[in-house]
Amino acid sequence: MSGMVFKARQPTGKLAAEWPTPEDNLITSRILWLEGLEPGLNQGNDAEGRVVDTRRRFVYIHGTNQTDKLGRPNSHGCVLLSDSDVIRLYGKVPVGTRVLIRD
């Protein structure tokens, strides 16, 4: 459902409009969980042993309730889309599809 809020990758049953703290950057509508392919850069740990793993850091492509901030940094690594865009993308992209994210 468009606008459904997710917590721990599970739908909460509440829409963003019903959320008690609407100022939060919510995960809405769909989640495409990303997994890095480059050891030490976005997979596993870096040379100092810090976790850089995209999947273990829960980096997603997901909908957001803050569409007025799209196109500007507003997360800790996630790619934010409007609900309609993430729903459309989710319907077109099979699991395992490679995604290139760059400037």
Residue-wise pLDDT tens digits, 20-77: 987 889 999 999 999 999 999 999 999 999 999 999 999 999 999 999 999 888 888 8
Owner of token pair 């050891």: 39
pLDDT in the model for residue 103:
72
DSSP 75-102: SSSPEEE-HHHHHHHHHH--TT------
| Number of structural domains in the chain | 1
In a domain, 56, yes or no: yes
Which range of residues forms the domain containing residue 37? 4-92
Name the band, by pLDDT with cuts 50, 70 and 90, for residue 14.
very high
Whether 8 is covered by a domain: the verdict is yes
Short-list 7, 3, 9, 8, CA closest to 28: 3
Per-residue pLDDT at 22:
76
Is the residue at 101 inside a domain? no
Looking at the domain assignment, is residue 9 inside a domain? yes
